[in-house]
Amino acid sequence: MMYSPKVMQHFSNPQNVGEIPDADGVGEVGNPVCGDLMTIYIKVKDNKLSDIKFKTFGCAAAIATSSIITTMAKGMTLEDAVKISRNDVAKELGGLPPQKMHCSNLAADALKLAIENYRRKLQGLPPRTGVTEGEEEHAEDGASCPPEEHK
């Protein structure tokens, strides 16, 4: 499986890794089929993402998509950041193999969930948790992460 140079760059030297202990919003997603787990933490100031960090357990594509989505979203308004799609993430990385597109989907979902949880917090509502990509959906797109790719 061939990855673009940009995927390899973000896998080898991921940007914005870590946690934000006092995050305004947190989005955690996973895929039970391949085992990828992503958590994105956001800080919001004046309706913009002033800081964003991630922690990911997964394959090279999962780590690279987490890294690139944080660099794409940092400084954006919440309205613009929530519009980042799986295709936007893959395009920014110079493409992903078809069987790895689900990784960009998880990164986009984690960001959307972090923003949703920030908005829920403002309304005094509890955060949404336990969001996972369904096995049926995962199987339909032909995506799979061989277990040996996970570190």
Residue 27: Cβ within 10 Å count: 26
Which phi and psi (to 5°) does residue 26 adopt? -135, 135
- Give yes or no: 59 in active site: no
The one catalytic residue in 23, 29, 33, 34 is: 34
CB of 127 closer than 8 Å to CB of 120: yes
Active site annotation includes 103: yes
Given 63, 103, 111, 113, the catalytic residue? 103
Question: Among all residues, which ones are annotated catalytic?
Answer: 34, 103
